[in-house]
């Protein structure tokens, strides 16, 4: 049988290793990929009020997380504006209001957080006419499992180039001869989406006790 000293040393070693193993298992995943669906709406000549022209919207996203607060997201979405098909691609910087993740050793890390985003994007519509917009959004993230998240987001797109005529009908483009002189003459698109996200690309181990997985 093991002596009391040996058993005591083994017990101390186990206690010391538990935090290291736990820390390794909770390393942050730096990459995310996901899909989302919901609704989009348009405000313009044919629909001057919010939610007057609502259609289905869907898309996919990729996100790289620099840390628990900052991330860069690339996203592609599709929606319709009064029957016109619109494809939009944008890149956004995201900021989480709380440290976000599942690191059990750090009480500051939360499994749910609101966030905000801002970026730049381009859309194709009406026989591949290209418009440029600035996306601004807010949302909520919930990490419900080790590598899975649910996300809800609202995004508003402020068009700065070719933003009038999103209806796809030429007679509604530049109806007041303000294109190029008044950015407020541009149409508006927004989306409200619910998505599911899978995380991958776990960060490197930071201690010699951590095992690779």
- Averaged over 114-123, what is the pLDDT? 97
What structural domains does the chain harbor? 4-202 (2.40.160.20)
Q: What percent of the chain has pLDDT over 70?
A: 70
Q: Residue 20: in which H helix or E strand, if any?
A: helix 4-25
From CA 151, how far away is CA 113, in angstroms rounded?
10
- Say if residue 199 is exposed, middle or buried (CB neighbours under 10 Å; 0-12, 13-18, 19+): buried
CA nearest to 30, candidates 75, 70, 89, 90: 70
Instruction: Give the largest CA-CA distance in the chain.
Output: 94
- Averaged over 144-167, what is the pLDDT? 88
List phi, psi (to 5°) of 207. -145, 155
Q: How confident is the model at residue 148 (pLDDT cuts 50, 70, 90)?
A: very high
8-38: pLDDT as tens digits: 666 655 655 554 444 445 678 999 999 999 9
Q: Global pTM?
A: 0.76
Question: Where is pLDDT greater, at 192 or 174?
Answer: 192
The secondary structure of 61-121 as a DSSP string is EEEEESSSSEEEEEEEEEEEETTEEEEEEEEEEEEESSEES--TT-TTEESEEEEEEEEEE
28-65: pLDDT as tens digits: 899 999 999 999 998 876 666 677 778 999 999 999 99
């Amino acid at each position: 049988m093991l002596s009391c000293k040996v058993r005591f040393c083994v017990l101390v070693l186990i206690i010391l290793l538990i935090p290291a193993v736990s820390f390794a298992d909770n390393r942050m995943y730096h990459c995310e990929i996901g899909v989302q669906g919901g609704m989009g709406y348009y405000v313009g000549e044919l629909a001057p009020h919010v939610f007057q022209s609502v259609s289905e919207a869907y898309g996919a996203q990729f996100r790289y997380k620099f840390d628990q607060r900052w991330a860069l997201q690339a996203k592609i979405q599709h929606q319709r504006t009064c029957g016109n098909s619109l494809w939009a691609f944008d890149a956004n910087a995201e900021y989480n209001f709380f440290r976000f993740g599942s690191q059990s050793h750090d009480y500051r890390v939360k499994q749910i957080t609101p966030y905000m985003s801002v970026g730049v994007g381009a859309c194709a519509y009406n026989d591949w006419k290209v418009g440029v917009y600035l996306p601004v959004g807010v949302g909520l993230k919930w990490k419900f499992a080790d590598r899975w998240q649910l996300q809800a987001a609202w995004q508003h797109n402020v068009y700065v180039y070719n933003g009038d005529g999103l209806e796809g009908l030429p007679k509604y483009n530049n109806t007041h001869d303000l294109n190029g002189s008044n950015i407020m003459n541009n149409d508006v698109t927004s989306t409200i989406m619910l998505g599911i996200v899978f995380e991958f690309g776990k960060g490197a181990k930071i201690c010699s006790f951590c095992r690779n997985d």
